[in-house]
Amino acid sequence: IQLTQSPSSLSASIGDRVTITCRASHDINNVLAWYQQKPGKAPNLLIYGASTLQRGVPSRFSGSGYGTDFTLTISSLQPEDFASYYCQQLNSYPLTFGRGTKVEIK
- Least CB distance to other proteins at residue 28 (A): 10
Binding site for other proteins (CB under 8 A): 31, 33, 35, 37, 42-45, 48-49, 54, 84, 86, 88, 90, 93-100
Closer Cβ to other proteins, 2 or 76, answer by number: 2
Instruction: Name 33's Cβ contacts closer than 8 Å, sequence gap at least 6.
Output: 45, 46, 47, 48, 49, 87, 88, 90
- Ramachandran quadrant class, 28 (left: phi over 0; alpha: psi -120 to 50; beta: rest): alpha
The HSE-up count of residue 12 (CA atoms within 13 Å, CB side) is 24
- Least CB distance to other proteins at residue 47 (A): 8
Closer Cβ to other proteins, 17 or 99, answer by number: 99
- Least CB distance to other proteins at residue 41 (A): 8
